[in-house]
Structure 1
Amino acid sequence: MSSYIMLTGMFLLMRSLADDLSDHVDVFQGSEGGGNNFPGVARPFGMVKLGPDLYQSGADAYSGYLSTGEFSGFSMMHEQGTGGAPKYGTVAQLPLVGNIDDPLSHITVARDGTDQASVGYYKANTDDGVEVELSASSRAGIYRYTFPSDSQENNILVDVSHVLPSFRGQGLGQNYKGGNLTIFEDGHYEGLGTYDNGWNEAPDWTIFFCGHFDSDAVSSKAYTAVNSDKSVEQPSGSVSSTSNSTAVGGVFTFSDSEITSRVGISWISTEQACNNVDQEIPKGTDFAAVVEDAVLEWNTKVFSKITTTSTNSTSLSLLYTSLYHMHLIPTNQTGENPGWDSSEPYYQDIFTFWDLFRCSTALMQVLQPNAYEEQIRSLIDIWRHDGYLPDARSSNYNGRTQGGSNADNILADAYVKGVRGQVDWEDGYRAMVKDAEITPANHPVDPMAPDSSTHHGRGALPDWLSLGYITPRFSRAVTRAVEYACNDFGLYQVASGLGKHSDAQKYLNRSQNWRNHWNPDQTSLGFSGFVVPRDKNGFIQTDPAKDGGYWGDPYYEGGSWAYSWNDVHDMRHLIELMGGPEKTVKRLETVFDKGLFDSTNEPMFNLPYLYNYVDRQDLSVSRSRNVAKSEYHTGKTGLPGNSDAGAMQTWLLWNMIGLYPITGQTTFLIHSPWFESLSIDLGGGKKLEISSTGGDGNGDSDYYVSSLKVNGKEWKKNWLEWEDVFADGGRLEFELGPTAVNWTSGPLPPSPASN
């Protein structure tokens, strides 16, 4: 019995036992308004992300999708929620009606109506009257085309030169570098394309493909086009180019009005691409079965991880849509690594740990402990073979590092929370030490930040090691200093656990060096003391209310009002520098009252929760709930900013859960859950059960904590640890009410670097 038939039977059984949680998912949520969510079809961590590529001059289609524009193709590869510049849009097909005399002239087709989609299914209509339906497995995709009944020439174009373009003018646009296509006697085609660049400035990378049609073509023709001249048919049926000046492709013409195509991809070979499609979507597979398999996989592996008794449609949509988008990348490419032979798992399409380390990776460990262990092993294996841990990675290439070497934070967080299994932590620690001690070569030079490497590692280490701070000769100096301190705290944590006590003391001391950027005399809005740029002559004056910046500036995607709060491992000392708890509360309140809070960028993710450190848990609840309810919505513009590969979604999910993780520590700050009941499957038969009484059951009102029981016992701290409820499961019982009460009397959250 084939696997898809077995899965379909399981799917029908599941439907009979429980509601289909995928019904709550809006795949278009956050696909417009800068969210850049991918609305096409994919499996959890799947290599294939099949969806439309919309072309509109001047508009970057980061995930392929735009609300306006014309179809340039329906391609197999995309990324989720990324910025910078588009990536992939490779291995594409495009349905065309009528005579096509110049197929490689970058043809586009207008959209007719509004695209429709759900988990595992996408449908669009072209202005030619063609209905396009899509679904996917992990490493293969399926297209179903329905042409107009009166059409005489039903064509499908395969253009190997097709990529997602970029119009931002930052030098990050992708380029076609050459490829080949062979049409075989049985009608299937195979080939490869080589491309470069994209948001991570990757050098040449090659993807292989293998496509089949379920109908016999009336004709199948291979074409070349040199220097964008008119396409020329090549009678051999096989075309090849090693130059970006020669596009290659093919046109398949059918008399049937309904055509199904199955395509596999591989990073290794065309043979493996053919194996992938033969194994995952074999000949004779019904289109509906692939859709149903996708729904089953998402329900069993992802959506069922969190269940609730809530019936509020808006909250359920936000919950399951967020779970969906956070599981699209990284890509599980195990067995598809062209760089080296290894028995270790391989995950890539990491965008980026600068975005993900605060919320996303912590939630990934909770929801997907097995996959997360594989991801940690994969990071260490990348260091073994590429020399450094990635801060970001795509098309099998590290880049770009925006601040610190934040994979160090990821490894530290996994270590202190007990990730062991098959992880070689001695190697993991060596990889972290490489980040902390060896400056990466500045090659290739990043034109947006030419001073030091943005490839991986810590480009500004020379100053950090010799001075204990970072001078403006390095771009993003303040951001890097703040983050290098966090990275060094991560090394302290792992070194301590491995019994490397002298190392631990060294890195603990270094984790305090963010203080060297603290200018107690810098003022803003009535407050004194901020992290600022400095050189060997002293601090450099700035305006904290206006000093945010980008690649070439002292701060990156935030300013000193944001970065002054980021070293939470040293929070008690920071509170002292700010003038004590009362002034710290006033400063936090000013962030929100004066419109300084930026929900669109990660450096301020933790700010609504920091009130817990000054014993004002009630303000953490009210401020974070206001952000969640006012900035996150259902619908295409439902995200406050770029998804950043699910970073925004995981911030929202933690708000729903009622906890907030402190990366690199076992600490979780307590705020307030949305739902009357929430059950989180932790794997291995363990669960975290969360209940609340006295609230409105949807987190809109009456959300202040009156009392809390943890595992049946009264709890007086405004924080808890991994061991309390996650290591073996646990139970949180909240009593909520309409007004703030002082229910905490225990010690404040730990501040390890302040001891």
Structure 2
Amino acid sequence: MSLLHTITTCITLVVLLSSQTVATKDDLKHVNPLIGSTNGGNVFAGASLPYGLAKPVADVDGQNTGGFSTDGSNVTGFSHLHDSGTGGNPSLGNFPLFPQYCPDDVLDNCKFPKSARAVPYAKDSVVARPGYFAISLYNGIRAEMTVARRSALYRFKFPSADTGNGSALHPLISLDLTDLWDSRQNASITIDAHSGRIRGNGTFLPSFGAGSYQTYFCADFAGARVHDSGIWVNDRAGSEPKQLFLTRGFNGFYLQGGGFVSFDRPHDGVVTARVGVSFISTDQACNNAEKEIPDPLHDFGSLRKDAEDAWRAKLSPIKVTAGGAGDDMLSSFWSGVYRTMLSPQDMTGENPLWKSDEPYFDSFYCLWDAFRSQHPFLTIVDPHAQSRMSLQRLDAGGSNADVVLADAYVKNLTGINWELAYKAMVNDAENEPLEWSYEGRGGLQSWKRLHYIPYLDFDYLGFGTNSRSVSRTVEYAYNDYSLAVVAKGLGKTDYTTYISRSGNWKNLFKKDQKSLLENGTDTGFTGFLQPKHLNGTWGYQDPIACSALASWCSLTSNPSETFESSIWEYLFFVPHDMASLIKLLGGPESFVSRLDYFHDSGLADIGNEPVFLTVFEYHYAGRPALSARRAHKYIPSSFNASHSGLPGNDDSGAMGSFMAWCMMGLFPNPGQNVYLIIAPFFEAVEITHPETNQTATIRNVNFDKSYRKVYIQSAKLNGNPYTKNWVGHEFFTRGMTLELTLGEHESDWGTGKEDLPPSVSGSLAKESDV
């Protein structure tokens, strides 16, 4: 499209032979789903297909936001729906199964409630691979699981056991009508006495957000003859009745309950459980299971192989020549890539909210995080999936969706009706919804009239958390820039409106504002964003508040005028007009000094996504070498291959994609046709575009596996000298080759004014850069 030609430089390139890069043979072996499974990474460590709905894993009573953690806590069950890397309350974990023996083979001796049945697991027994998870419990039972798209398959191996008088114990599997954070509002269950099939549904609360949701399940068992079945409530069970309905009392009393099936122990001790899930109906849950796993007794091996093949296919666009880089680096990289495709889940055909012909993905739990790196990453390695997600944003909306759509536009993703997309973006920018805490924007009257979001805004049109005036102002400015990008490309006359509104961030810049540390020490920098009242007078928020050096700020904990980050951090969020920001802060040298202080002082929170772009903003001041230095500071100190190898919530793969981008040697500025260049962490990286089938290559000359030589001395693009410190998306679609010569010291490569990335305004940019 013509927009690409106005954004990018016109370069004619010749691809070098791919045989010069010797890639690893089976990259799947480097994926470790347990990276980030403790220390707050909250990753999903269980079995999943790419974007798969069903996600079985062992749930624990410790750090269980993603279900399982390697924190040594106790297993409470095995459930089939999870998110990955989220914060807040534990997410999903509905209808867990739990295998056990009842002492003395007496039903009421079994442990049914979650806290009572919790059992430790053997730490060295955990096996987590793409599409497979296994664990041994201290009660002697071994559990392993694999997955189809909307159904899970478990194998529980019960050891031989008897009552002490020669009578064999009967293996029992219970199903609990609960979720990870016990949010169930009501639920029902029925058990078929002959087959042991358990059907049911429940209404639950989301871990973060408004409203409620219903989900449905259908569980079947194979490999053993049914001995008994029934229901349980609190700590008692009975063979009759075979159905149960639970609700939450007026005082919130949580009645625990569910169903169970016991079996004659088979010769090999293995009882197989197949669980189908749905957000539409119990019948659909059963149909999903029957269609995807027709022979649960014999399908386990083929399902696992199919899952591995699906993951190999998704990873296949990327090839790495390690050049001596260690196994931990490879594991960090490939595991990060893997986690970008766990969520959101492809729920096409499972949308309970509205009817649409568009694809439906859900658990966009972290779009505020994921738009910065995850979605741009999928644009290069899985553009088909990213196009489908972008299509859904036409139905779902939300301000961060404006950036996702603009990114799709400038990178020419196919299959999107851009007139319709633009209409949806304009609606988001111009019409305030009744409840804007989870859709659209609030404060639009003030935004249009005052050109900023005021502190203690007067907003009678909609409902939302009336805070975050500073962070909403800078984010709305970038949202409107995103509209301007699409408007200009489509030839819309309101381009000028939105490009003008993209500069509204300046209206909260207080040039004489100073910043002190908590001990009273002056940071030495003047000029920060500050909240402003409706009448135009200044309010005040300490610039270090909500930083890693002060207190946490969110919607529910210490709500402030910035969200989850400080004024220090939000000052750097002007992705579309860095040249103007640098000028406002005193020029490149002053800007670099301030950015250095931000990272070196501890104000920067690398565990939260708003910081990501600041690692690379040295490029805009003509110091790309310092971006490389920062990337190597955080990898591997904060991002590594250990179980605690993430500095914060993975947030649906945002952390994983940040690490993958850094290690590939490029970083996106989302919503723009810009990738900032540093040296890859490997000798070479190849990315084959899945639609054009062209292979882009980034190759290091003088690669040093000890990472002393991380600074680019010179570059060639398709054999020609190249001095710009950024490239456009055509690098991937046309299959270009970037050759970087490295050294131990900063050079003048990429430092000239003509080499810097584009900005909307300022002495280093022209309007045509938009």
Name the TM-score, length of structure 1 as normaliser: 0.88
Aligned to 2:171: 155
**Kept in 1: contact 2:715–2:723 (CA 8 A):** yes
Task: Answer whether contact 1:179 1:194 (CA < 8 A) is retained.
Answer: no
CA shift digits 1:282-306 (9 cap, x unpaired) = 2143423222222111112225534
Pairwise CA distance, 1:634: 0.9
Corresponding residue for 1:145?
156
Pick the aligned partner of 1:270 from 282, 291, 313. Answer: 282
Candidates 105, 117, 130, aligned match of 2:128: 117
Between stretches 303-312 and 686-695, larger displacement belongs to 303-312
Q: Partners in 1 of 2:112 and 2:142 — Cα distance? A: 22
- Report which stretch shifted further, 183-192 or 75-84: 183-192
Report Cα offsets for 1:280-335 as digits up to 9, x if no partner.
22214342322222211111222553433445211110111111111100100111
Partner of 1:409: 403
| Structure 1 residue runs without a partner (length 5+) | 1-16, 166-172, 383-388, 391-404, 443-452
Whether contact under 8 Å (1:333, 1:348) holds in the other structure is: yes
For residues 700 and 559 of structure 1, the distance between their equivalents in structure 2, rounded to whole angstroms, comes to 32
Residue equivalent to 2:146: 135
Aligned with residue 440 of structure 2, among 419, 433, 457: 457
Change over 3 Å in CA distance of 1:462–1:153 after alignment to 2:
farther
Task: Name the CA distance, whole Å, in 2 between partners of 1:585 and 1:638.
Answer: 28
**Relative to 1, partners in 2 of residues 1:691 and 1:309: Cα closer, same or farther, differing over 3 Å?**
same
* 1:531 partnered with 2:535: no
Aligned to 2:481: 489
**Any residues of structure 2 matched to 1:433-448 within 5 Å, and which?**
433-442=426-435
What is residue 520 of structure 1 aligned with on the other side?
A: 511
Partner deviation per Cα, 1:571-594 (whole Å, 9 max, x = no partner): 111111101112112111222232
Question: What are structure 2's unaligned runs of at least 5 residues?
Answer: 1-22, 163-167, 457-465, 516-522, 548-552
Q: Quick check: 2:231–2:237 contact (8 Å CA) kept in 1?
A: yes
Q: What do residues 646-679 of structure 1 show as CA deviations (whole Å, max 9, x unaligned)?
A: 1111111111111111111101111221111111
Q: Tell me if 1:164 matches 2:188.
A: no
Indicate yes or no: 2:485 matched with 1:479: no
2:711 corresponds to which of 698, 704, 711: 704
Which residue is equivalent to 2:597?
590
Q: Is 1:180–2:189 an aligned residue pair?
A: yes
CA contact (8 A) 1:26 1:635 kept: no
Partner of 1:287: 300
- Gap change, CA 1:454 and 1:64, over 3 Å in 2: farther
Q: Work out the CA distance in 1 between the residues paired with 2:546 and 2:48.
A: 40
Correspondence for 1:690: 698
Aligned AA for 1:738?
E
**Residues 149-208 of structure 1, C-alpha deviation per residue, up to 9 Å, x if partnerless?**
12433433333422102xxxxxxx6234222223253332322222223222332x2222
Query: Is the 1:213–1:261 Cα contact (8 Å) retained in structure 2?
Result: yes
Structure 2 Cα separation of the partners of residues 542 and 155 of structure 1: 60
Provide the rounded CA distance (Å) in 1 between the counterparts of 2:611 and 2:188: 44
CA distance in 2: counterparts of 1:212 and 1:582, whole angstroms: 66
Give the letter aligned to residue 505 of structure 1.
T
SS at match of 2:421: helix
Quick one: which amino acid aligns to residue 175 of structure 2? D
Separation of aligned partners in 1, 2:91 and 2:362: 13
> In the alignment, does 2:206 pair up with 1:222?
no
1:239 aligned to 241, 244, 247, which one? 244
Matched, 1:739 2:745: yes
Amino acid in the other structure paired with 1:301: K
Equivalent residues of 2:96, 2:175 under 8 A apart: yes
Amino acid at match of 1:653: A
Residue identity (%): 34
2:339 is matched with: 325
Task: Tell me the residue number matched to 2:501.
Answer: 510
Query: Structure 2: how far apart are the matches of 1:358 and 1:42?
Result: 24
CA shift for structure 1 position 243? 5.5
The Cα shift of 1:127 comes to 2.1
Q: For 2:679, what is the secondary structure of its paired residue?
A: coil
Cα distance in 2 for partners of 1:223, 1:189 equals: 10
Query: Greater relative contact order (Cα 8 A, min sep 6): structure 1 or 2?
Result: 2
Counterpart in the other structure of 2:361: 347
1:188-231 deviations in whole A, cap 9, x for unaligned? Answer: 2322222223222332x222222221134342322153xx4x54
Is the 8 Å Cα contact of residues 672 and 705 (structure 1) preserved in structure 2?
yes
Tell me, in whole angstroms, the C-alpha distance in 2 between the residues paired with 1:208 and 1:555.
Answer: 39
Q: Which residue number corresponds to residue 32 of structure 2?
A: 26
Q: Letter of the 1:43 partner, please give it.
A: L
Summarize the Cα distance change of 1:275–1:752 in structure 2 as closer, same or farther, 3 Å threshold.
same
Deviations 1:99-137 (A, max 9, x none): 331665334231231123222221212222111111111
Which residue identity is paired with 2:739?
Answer: E
2:135 and 2:49 mapped to 1: Cα distance?
20
Match of 1:364 among 363, 371, 378: 378
Structure-2 separation of matches of 1:303 and 1:52: 29
Matched, 1:576 2:576: no
**C-alpha distance in structure 2 between counterparts of 1:537 and 1:146, whole Å:** 69
1:423-462 residue CA offsets vs partner (Å, 9 max, x unmatched): 12122112111221122213xxxxxxxxxx3121112323
Report if aligned partners of 1:48, 1:138 keep a CA contact under 8 Å in 2. yes
- For residues 209 and 315 of structure 2, the distance between their equivalents in structure 1, rounded to whole angstroms, comes to 28
Match of 2:82 in 1: 78
Tell me what 1:449 maps to: none
Q: In the alignment, does 2:467 pair up with 1:468?
A: no
CA RMSD of aligned residues (A): 2.1
The 5 A counterparts of 1:386-397 are: 389-390=397-398
Corresponding residue SS for 2:57: strand
* Cα separation, partners in 2 of 1:456 and 1:66, compared to 1, 3 Å: farther
Q: CA deviation at 1:238?
A: 3.3
Letter in 2 for 1:630: S
Answer whether contact 1:303 1:320 (CA < 8 A) is retained.
Answer: no
Helix, strand or coil: the match of 2:83? coil
CA contact (8 A) 1:62 1:83 kept: no
Residues 347 and 623 from structure 1, CA distance in 2 versus in 1: closer, same or farther, beyond 3 angstroms? same
Secondary structure of the 1:568 match is coil
- Structure 1 679/699 Cα, relative in aligned 2: closer, same or farther at 3 Å? farther
Segment drifting more, 643-652 vs 425-434? 425-434
Question: Structure 2 residue aligned with 1:37, among 27, 36, 43?
Answer: 43
* 8 A contact 2:100–2:172 mirrored in 1: yes
Judge conservation of contact 1:55–1:61 (CA < 8 Å) in 2. no
Q: How many residues are matched?
A: 692
User: TM-score scaled to structure 2, two decimals?
Assistant: 0.86
Quote how far apart the aligned CAs of 1:55 are: 1.7
Q: 1:218 to 1:212 in 2, by over 3 A?
A: closer
Runs of 4+ with deviation above 4 angstroms: 241-248
Deviation at 1:566, TM superposition (A): 0.3
- The 2-side partners of 1:112 and 1:558 are apart by 37
Secondary structure at the counterpart of residue 515 of structure 1: helix
Specify the code of the residue in structure 2 equivalent to 1:189.
I
Q: Distance in 2 between matches of 1:714 and 1:407?
A: 37
